[in-house]
Amino acid sequence: MWEFMQHLNYWDWLALGTVLLILEVFGAGGYLLWAGIAGIIVGVLTFLIPGLSWTLQLPLFGVLAILTAVYWWRRQRGTVDSGDQPNLNRRGHELIGRTFVVQQAIVEGRGKIKVGDSVWMAVGPDAPVGTPVRVTAQNGAVLSVEIVP
């Protein structure tokens, strides 16, 4: 093993990087991707700098694996943008500010309103059936409403 470590060359690193990338294809969840890329980078550097000792290659591999993973993590975290649909996957949030009609009278602060082809629970001031109300907030499957003057 010691003999192998002292004679690491670029083929060893390229093979390690390739094996890690192949294993990533089988579902490692992204964990081996960055180590595989780091192995390939070390292989390329070892090819370009033939005298690079193994005592520098191993720490370089570790540092590159961490740096590539952190770089991608920060890049992905910064690109979360809902674009032109800010309420996508936030069911009910798009209803805030819209006006609907009371379906079941709001009595003692609780009732139901008709939203499209569905009925939602509503909390707010008491209102008879047919009263127009505006949604002011959403808490799970319950909409807070106010009576439209």
Question: How do residues 26-63 score in pLDDT, each as one tens digit?
Answer: 887 778 888 899 999 999 999 999 888 888 988 999 99
Q: How many domains does the chain have?
A: 2
Q: pLDDT by residue (tens digit) across 112-125?
A: 999 888 899 999 99
Q: What residues make up the domain containing 32?
A: 2-78
Report yes or no on 83 lying in a domain. Answer: no
**8, 23 Cβ separation under 8 angstroms:** no
The answer, as to whether pTM is greater than 0.95, is: no
List CB contacts of 78: < 8 A, sequence separation 6 or more: none
- Whether 87 maps to a domain, the answer reads no
36 lies in the same domain as 59:
yes
pLDDT at 82 over 70: no
The whole-chain average pLDDT of the chain stands at 86
**Same structural domain, 50 and 103:** no
Residues 9 and 72 grouped into a single domain: yes
Q: Residue 36's pLDDT is what?
A: 92
What CATH number does the domain containing 141 carry?
A: 2.40.50.140
Answer yes or no: do 115 and 58 share one domain.
no
Say how far apart CA 121 and CA 92 lie, in whole Å: 11
43 assigned to some structural domain: yes
Question: In this structure, are 6 and 47 located in the same domain?
Answer: yes
Judge if 73 and 12 occupy the same domain: yes
Phi and psi torsions of 83, nearest 5°? 60, -130
